[in-house]
Amino acid sequence: VRYELYYWPTIQGRGEFIRLAFEEAGVPYVDVAREKGADVLTKVLKGSLGGTRPFAPPVLKSGKMVVAQTSAILHWVGPKLGLAPKNDAGRFAVHQHQLTIMDLAAEAHDTHHPISTSLYYEDQKPESKKRSARFVSDRVPKFLGYFEEVLGTRKFLVGSSITYADTSMFQIIEGLRYAFPKAMKRFEKKIPRLLGLHERVVTRPGIAKYLASERRIAMNEDDLFRRYPELDV
Ligand SMILES: N[C@@H](CCC(=O)N[C@@H](CS)C(=O)NCC(=O)O)C(=O)O
């Protein structure tokens, strides 16, 4: 089975949640825009792959199936990659967590784009400061506090083995640490169990190999998580 991922080639972004799932599973995928350039995405967004025309990347294609929306993609391939239970209850538990994680990712994005994605960060700095302050004081504790309780004393978020909800939680923690290093340093004392999960994910052979490879793009200020020291309050 050939999997083709279509995502922006110079950022981790939302595509990273998909990349991490494939890397953990050790299932090969082609990161098409990294091989062919970002122009291919323009065509994909016009519907060149067939199927339901995507609004935004990431998009995953396999055979005739073309799926956009990060959570929908993972819901589709999760069980095939061995990263989601096959039964409905377990599969939807993982899907529910992924959707919540994507809500948190969107709020992290909105700390540097609180007014509009179509404006530069520099054009919305005062609003970004206000939004970031509430994000780190209220929203991060609410989201991560929830996941800390859900994880409890278990090893993984759902069931007894790793799922893509766990690789996604790893990525969220990585992103928040990158964007808000000072705030996270203080807050992390409150999420020891999630840090244990982060450690379990980072030491998985597939993930460790990926993180050490050139396939892992460095976080940067065009990305979903951005480090602007003035926002790390
Ligand atoms: N809900 C979608 C959001 C997709 C999305 O916002 N993609 C970004 C890149 S990470 C993008 O290119 N957006 C273009 C836009 O919103 O105009 C998902 O989870 O995949």
CA of 155 to the centre of ligand 1 (A): 31
- pLDDT by residue, tens only, the chain of 233 residues: 999 999 999 999 999 999 999 999 999 999 999 999 999 999 999 999 999 999 999 999 999 999 999 999 999 999 999 999 999 999 999 999 999 999 999 999 999 999 999 999 999 999 999 999 999 999 999 999 999 999 999 999 999 999 999 999 999 999 999 999 999 999 999 999 999 999 999 999 999 999 999 999 999 999 999 999 999 98
Q: Which atom of ligand 1 is nearest to the CA of 15?
A: 10
Kindly give the interhelix angle for 70-77 and 15-25, rounded to the nearest 10 degrees.
20
- The phi and psi torsions of 232 (rounded to 5 degrees) equal -90, 75
Euclidean distance between the first and the last CA atom of the chain, given in angstroms as a whole number: 46
In this predicted structure, what is the pLDDT of residue 233? Answer: 84
CA of 190 to the centre of ligand 1 (A): 31
Q: Which of 10, 14, 117 to mutate to test the pocket of ligand 1 (most atoms within 8 A of CB)?
A: 14
CA of 56 to the centre of ligand 1 (A): 5
Neighbours of 228 (CB within 10 A): 16
Residues 172 and 101: beta-carbon distance below 8 Å: yes
CA of 17 to the centre of ligand 1 (A): 13
CA of 57 to the centre of ligand 1 (A): 6
Whether the model pTM is above 0.95: yes
Q: Which atom of ligand 1 is nearest to the CA of 7?
A: 9
Q: Which atom of ligand 1 is nearest to the CA of 73?
A: 20
Residues with CB under 6 A from ligand 1: 13-14, 56-58, 69-70, 102, 117, 224
Quick one: DSSP state of residue 139? I
Q: Residue 21 to residues 25, 118, 120, 214, 230: CA-CA distances in angstroms?
A: 6, 30, 31, 17, 33
Q: How far apart are CA 104 and CA 72, in angstroms?
A: 16
Q: How far apart are CA 153 and CA 148, in angstroms?
A: 9
> What long-range pairs does 216-222 form, CB within 8 A, spacing at least 24?
216/12, 217/10, 217/11, 217/12, 219/12, 219/174, 219/175, 219/178, 220/10, 220/11, 222/10, 222/11
